[in-house]
Structure 1
Amino acid sequence: MKTLTSFFDRMVQRYLPDAFLFAIILTIVVYVAGVLFTASGPVEMVEHWGSGFWDLLAFAMQMSLVVVTGYILASAPVIRRALGRLSMLANTPVQAIMLVTFVALVACLINYGFGLVVGALFAIHVAKRVPSVDYRLLIASAYSGMLVWHGGFSASIPLLLATPGHFLEDTIGTIAVTETLFSPFNMFIVLFLLVTLPFFNRFLMNGSDPLKNTDAALWKEDEEEEADRSQVKIQPLTPAERLENSQILSLLIGVMGLVYIVYHFSVNGFDLNINIVNFIFLFLGILFHRTPKRFLDTVMKGVKNAAGIIVQFPFYAGIMGMMVASGLSQQMSEWFISFSTEFTYPLFAFLSAGIVNFFVPSGGGQWAVQGPIMIPAAMEIGVSSAKTAMAVAWGDAWTNMIQPFWALPVLAIAGLKVRDIMGFCVMILFYSFIPIVIGLLFL
């Protein structure tokens, strides 16, 4: 295990480019493939790329706020103390890896945006508690929680199918979550990973230099201490300074936010979507930082962590535009369908979704591309629509382990590069293939 992990780690460190360059390379690959294998010519592919370039602006803003509001909340003294107390459950590197993995898995089952932020922030606190832990593996363990998000409460595909009015309702009607999220095969996959992945990540420990690996965690600790020093009480001298240091203003707007949060859940039930997660993080951050000045000082520090998301997400939107408009994604899906049987169809639906996820890394967006192709084929072959949908969902979640798109928020918070964790993520990808395939084919 150590030898294999070290091999992938060396390969990734040597050959995997920065996440931004990865997005550029993917753009070129999709462009060339579109010109060669579809009816779209060179100019048309550029048109598809440019037309789709800004389609993820709203989503990019959401994910940027995930990073910024998560940083704001985690920088509040009360939250730092709470995460610090929870991190005390880990006293050794082995315990640190297993604890972070388990917490990240549970958090991502609740909500993927919540899990991304909580997993990364908790990993930093654990790294301070156990400085000898391999920091890169610790962050990879935090990111491994994303494996289960599409089998949890924020899963976009099964939740969409359970909602009246979805775009395939005329074909398959609505599908209750009891047939998807709470089906035996999905419960098996989720529980298997929840129980065994902490142990698997523990076996990935490869004895890397702890000083090198905890540099980012120590840097974060210094930054937080500096934030504390900047929050020393001062005596306001002007009306503007009094407003900036007014606890009353923060309390008023913070309470208003809490009232809306209560209203949202009372009306919509447990609807923990990405917008309400950001809303909760934002207004708890306002309350916990107590004054507008302290809050804004922390915002200034947190915003720089979102730089990679702001720059890279438009490139992925352009890639999606080329994949969909040229028909490349449809060709990929139809190729897998062409040699599937009733037994193997869930497996090939899963694998096709895993490949398409590299180029269309949004779960909802991927279903919009693949759903109209995979569902009719499943009905013709005689495969359950619910299982087909979950196969696509798990394929989307599976290759997130080696697709930098979703790792960007975690890496921004942790202060690492994509190549720092990807060697470990490759091993996690291979391991998770086993329970997913067992669940889809035999349960």
Structure 2
Amino acid sequence: MLKFLSRPAVKLVERYLPDPYVFVLLLTLVAAAAAIGVERQTPLSVLRYWGDGFWNLLTFSMQMLLVLVTGFMLASSPPVRRLLAKLASQADNAAKAIVLVSVVSLAASWINWGFGLVVGALFAKELARQVRVDYRLLIASAYSGFIVWHGGLAGSIPLVIATEGHFASDRIGVIPTTETIFSLFNLAIVAVLFIVVPLVNRWMLPDESESVFVERHMLDDATPRRQLPMRPAEHLENSVALSWLVGIPGLVFLLDHFLLRGGGLNLNIVNFLFLFLALVLHRTPRQLLDSLYEAVKGGAGIVIQFPFYAGIMAIMVESGLAETLSEGFVSIADADSLPFWSFISAGVLNLFVPSGGGQWAVQAPVMLPAAEALGASVPKIAMAVAWGDAWTNLLQPFWALPVLAIAGLKAKDIMGFCLVQLVITGVIIALGLTFL
């Protein structure tokens, strides 16, 4: 049945979903029109919100670009290539490949979202080198594991409210992760998704006559021909000692961070880990640079699109449109249904504000007073917003950009399959938040 249902979804998306850059331009116009029409903002005010906020994601944009580049460099190192190849050899047919990449992506995304995006995509490429499988569904399966990130160890909302002095601490205090990430209802949702997401991906596998395959040589990264170093500078570029003298201290810093200082994973630490592992495993600066030149080719979408999303977020927040949207859902809720409506409102808002932390800053002032007034569970409301933010990432191409860049595909190639997952996972998460 899912194979049958996925066909029209894939065709619909392939026909009507524009390139993510066009998508963000359309979202910009929709957000601006809504701010003018609904919030009665003047066109000049909206223009100022947009322009003033356009560069607010520069730090995050660089972090995301580094997720792509450092992850690619690490995965292209000879030892990691061998490891991925060995793991991929466990799948000897298309069905096993789809299930395996789904599970690996889910596990990696639950640990850290940046880690999951890169690992899932790179592992999918390695599977495609060894197994004849629909490449679109394989990459969609790698991306679908991202659904669990906000219910995992790096979930920004549960980590924010577990931090002393967070912006809403005077209202709700500090809520430990035992009541959010490691609560029974959240772990149950994660466990069900770990079962359902791989199965749904497997059941969407098209017949061979309808599948889209890629040849192995199209997946291999360009490797420059090696020449013996002649000049002193070339000896430095091919020096293993130079790479290790810098790379090994970087890894020692990470050991200190995790073991002695008790630090955790965040985006900067993930990028630091990827970079210095790549530095050591590539052995020479020249090999690392060759990998870097190949990696940066896929970063164009991140560079051009993230500033537009920053502008959209500014319009939504500064005009009051995000708050109005949240209040509209809250107004029809009671204590039992508030988690559900928080989840739905967060899912809708995520299309325009694709940032977990930014979204919580917008929705918390609306959701928290509503939870207190209705007697609803504050930890569950927070996790409902977190799950809503993660859920519609299956439809929002913003987070798929690193995956698509690594895979060499366009959003329309995978989003049809993700649309089916959106419906099924939405039902599971909504039921879990409502009844558990």
TM interval, short-chain normalised? over 0.9
| 1:67 match | 68
Please point out which of 396, 415, 439 is paired with 2:432. 439
| 1:207 match | 207
Is the contact made by 1:137 and 1:421 (CA closer than 8 Å) also made in structure 2? Answer: yes
Is the contact made by 2:392 and 2:422 (CA closer than 8 Å) also made in structure 1? Answer: yes
Alignment pair present for 1:323 and 2:323: no
| 2:397 match | 404
TM-score normalised over the length of structure 1: 0.96
Kindly provide the CA deviation profile for residues 264-287 of structure 1, in whole angstroms up to 9, marking residues without a partner as x: 112442511111110011011111
Provide the rounded CA distance (Å) in 1 between the counterparts of 2:30 and 2:122: 34
Is the contact made by 1:134 and 1:209 (CA closer than 8 Å) also made in structure 2? Answer: no
Provide the rounded CA distance (Å) in 2 between the counterparts of 1:214 and 1:191: 33
| 1:389 match | 382
Quickly say closer, same or farther: Cα 1:14–1:270, change in 2 above 3 A.
same
Alignment of 1:70-149 (within 5 A): 70-131=71-132, 133-149=133-149
| 1:173 match | 173
Matched residue of 2:179: which SS? coil
Provide the rounded CA distance (Å) in 1 between the counterparts of 2:391 and 2:236: 49
Matched residue of 2:400: which SS? helix
Identity of aligned residues (%): 52
Alignment pair present for 1:368 and 2:361: yes
Please point out which of 367, 373, 379 is paired with 2:372. 379
Provide the rounded CA distance (Å) in 1 between the counterparts of 2:134 and 2:299: 25
Provide the rounded CA distance (Å) in 2 between the counterparts of 1:272 and 1:426: 30
Quickly say closer, same or farther: Cα 1:211–1:438, change in 2 above 3 A.
closer
| 1:262 match | 255
| 2:326 match | 333
Provide the rounded CA distance (Å) in 2 between the counterparts of 1:117 and 1:268: 27
Matched residue of 1:90: which SS? coil
Provide the rounded CA distance (Å) in 2 between the counterparts of 1:55 and 1:235: 46
Is the contact made by 1:135 and 1:210 (CA closer than 8 Å) also made in structure 2? Answer: no
Provide the rounded CA distance (Å) in 2 between the counterparts of 1:282 and 1:95: 31
TM-score normalised over the length of structure 2: 0.98
| 2:218 match | 219
What is the CA distance between 1:211 and its match in structure 2?
A: 7.4
Kindly provide the CA deviation profile for residues 179-234 of structure 1, in whole angstroms up to 9, marking residues without a partner as x: 0011111011000011221111101112265774325x64222x2xx42x53x3x4
Kindly provide the CA deviation profile for residues 16-43 of structure 1, in whole angstroms up to 9, marking residues without a partner as x: 1000000000000001111101131111
Is the contact made by 2:129 and 2:219 (CA closer than 8 Å) also made in structure 1? Answer: no
| 1:183 match | 183
Provide the rounded CA distance (Å) in 2 between the counterparts of 1:210 and 1:127: 17
| 2:33 match | 32
426-435 vs 349-358, greater mean Cα deviation: 426-435
Alignment of 1:278-297 (within 5 A): 278-297=271-290
**Which residue identity does 1:137 align to in structure 2?**
L
**Cα RMSD for the two superposed structures:** 1.2
Give the count of matched residue pairs: 435
| 1:359 match | 352
Is the contact made by 2:179 and 2:379 (CA closer than 8 Å) also made in structure 1? Answer: yes
Quickly say closer, same or farther: Cα 1:209–1:306, change in 2 above 3 A.
farther
Quickly say closer, same or farther: Cα 1:339–1:422, change in 2 above 3 A.
same
Quickly say closer, same or farther: Cα 1:122–1:179, change in 2 above 3 A.
same
Provide the rounded CA distance (Å) in 1 between the counterparts of 2:339 and 2:86: 43
What is the CA distance between 1:53 and its match in structure 2?
A: 0.4
Quickly say closer, same or farther: Cα 1:322–1:165, change in 2 above 3 A.
same
Kindly provide the CA deviation profile for residues 337-390 of structure 1, in whole angstroms up to 9, marking residues without a partner as x: 111011111000000000000011010111111111111111111101100000
Quickly say closer, same or farther: Cα 1:263–1:22, change in 2 above 3 A.
same
Provide the rounded CA distance (Å) in 2 between the counterparts of 1:88 and 1:338: 53
71-80 vs 432-441, greater mean Cα deviation: 432-441
What is the CA distance between 1:256 and its match in structure 2?
A: 1.4
What is the CA distance between 1:402 and its match in structure 2?
A: 0.2
| 1:153 match | 153
What is the CA distance between 1:325 and its match in structure 2?
A: 0.4
**Which residue identity does 1:207 align to in structure 2?**
D
Provide the rounded CA distance (Å) in 2 between the counterparts of 1:161 and 1:299: 37
| 2:338 match | 345
**Which residue identity does 1:2 align to in structure 2?**
K
Gapped regions of structure 2 (runs ≥ 5): none
**Which residue identity does 2:12 align to in structure 1?**
M
Provide the rounded CA distance (Å) in 1 between the counterparts of 2:185 and 2:254: 34
Provide the rounded CA distance (Å) in 1 between the counterparts of 2:298 and 2:169: 40
**Which residue identity does 2:258 align to in structure 1?**
F
Gapped regions of structure 1 (runs ≥ 5): none
Is the contact made by 1:100 and 1:138 (CA closer than 8 Å) also made in structure 2? Answer: yes
Provide the rounded CA distance (Å) in 2 between the counterparts of 1:338 and 1:218: 56
Is the contact made by 1:245 and 1:292 (CA closer than 8 Å) also made in structure 2? Answer: yes
Provide the rounded CA distance (Å) in 2 between the counterparts of 1:218 and 1:268: 45
Alignment pair present for 1:47 and 2:40: no
Is the contact made by 2:145 and 2:197 (CA closer than 8 Å) also made in structure 1? Answer: no
Quickly say closer, same or farther: Cα 1:319–1:267, change in 2 above 3 A.
farther
Alignment pair present for 1:302 and 2:303: no
Is the contact made by 1:134 and 1:207 (CA closer than 8 Å) also made in structure 2? Answer: no
Provide the rounded CA distance (Å) in 2 between the counterparts of 1:165 and 1:263: 26
Quickly say closer, same or farther: Cα 1:330–1:37, change in 2 above 3 A.
same
What is the CA distance between 1:2 and its match in structure 2?
A: 2.1
**Which residue identity does 1:139 align to in structure 2?**
I
Kindly provide the CA deviation profile for residues 153-188 of structure 1, in whole angstroms up to 9, marking residues without a partner as x: 000000111110100000000001010011111011
**Which residue identity does 2:370 align to in structure 1?**
A
Provide the rounded CA distance (Å) in 2 between the counterparts of 1:400 and 1:267: 36
